[in-house]
Chain A
Amino acid sequence: MAIFDEELMRLKEMILKMGAMVESSIKDSVKALVERNDGMAKTVIEKDHQINALDVQIDEECIRLIALMQPKAGDLRFITTAMKITTDLERMGDMAVNIAGRALELNKEPILKPYIDIPHMSQISQGMTRDALDALVNRDKKLAMDVIMRDDEVDDLKYGIFEELISYMVRDPNTVSRAMKISFVAQYLERIADHATNIAEMVIYLVEGKIIRHMALPEE
Chain B
Amino acid sequence: MSNNLKSESRKLNFFYGNVHALKNVSMPIELNKVTALIGPSGCGKTTYLRCFNRMHDLYPHNRYEGEIILYPDNINIISSGIDPIEVRMRISMVFQKPNPFPKSIYENVAYGLRVRGVNNRKILAEKVEKSLRGAALWDEIKDRLDKPAFDLSGGQQQRLCIARALATDPEILLFDEPTSALDPIATSKIEELIIELKKKVTILIVTHNMQQAARISDWTGFMMLGELIEFDRTDKIFTAPSEKLTEDYITGRFG
Contact = CB atoms under 8 A, between A and B. Distances in A.
Interface of B, helix, strand, loop or mixed by DSSP: helix
B215 A68 contact: yes
B214 A70 contact: yes
B243 interface: no
Contacts of A68: 214-215, 234-235, 238
Contacts of A67: 214, 235, 238-239
Contacts of B239: 63-64, 67
B191 A1 contact: yes
A216 interface: no
Interface string B218-243: 00000000000000001100110000
A2 B192 contact: yes
A69 B235 CA distance: 10
Given A70-B211, A70-B214, A3 B238 contact: no
A67 to B, nearest CB: 4
Interface string A43-81: 000000000000000000001100111100000000000
A70 B195 CA distance: 17
Contacts of B195: 3
Nearest to A70: B211
A69 B192 contact: no
A4 B192 CA distance: 10
Given A63-B239, A64-B235, A64-B239, A69 B214 contact: yes
A62 B192 CA distance: 21
B156 to A, nearest CB: 19
Size bin of chain B's contact surface? 10 to 19
A67 B235 CA distance: 8
A2 B194 CA distance: 13
Interface residues of A, number: 10
B55 to A, nearest CB: 30
A4 B215 CA distance: 9
Interface in A163-193: none
Contacts, number: 25
Interface string B3-34: 00000000000000000000000000000000
A3 B235 contact: no
B62 interface: no
Interface in B166-212: 188, 191-192, 195, 211
Nearest to B189: A1
A28 to B, nearest CB: 36
A69 B215 CA distance: 5
A1 B235 contact: no
Interface string A1-33: 111100000000000000000000000000000
Contact of A1 (B192, B214, B234, B238): B192
B252 to A, nearest CB: 13
Nearest to A3: B195
Contacts of B234: 68
A196 B195 CA distance: 39
A3 B192 contact: yes
A5 B238 CA distance: 20
B184 to A, nearest CB: 11
A121 B188 CA distance: 50
Nearest to B195: A3
A137 B40 CA distance: 42
A63 B236 CA distance: 11
A208 B192 CA distance: 30
Contacts of A1: 188, 191-192, 215
Across chains A and B, which 10 residue pairs bring their CB atoms closest together, nearest first? A67-B238, A68-B214, A67-B239, A64-B235, A70-B211, A3-B195, A68-B238, A63-B239, A1-B188, A69-B215
Interface of A: 1-4, 63-64, 67-70
21 contacts: A1-B188, A1-B215, A2-B192, A3-B192, A3-B195, A4-B215, A63-B239, A64-B235, A64-B239, A67-B214, A67-B235, A67-B238, A68-B214, A68-B215, A68-B234, A68-B235, A68-B238, A69-B214, A69-B215, A70-B211, A70-B215
Interface of B: 188, 191-192, 195, 211, 214-215, 234-235, 238-239
Given A1-B215, A64-B239, 11 more contacts: A1-B191, A1-B192, A4-B215, A67-B214, A67-B238, A67-B239, A68-B215, A68-B234, A68-B235, A69-B214, A70-B211
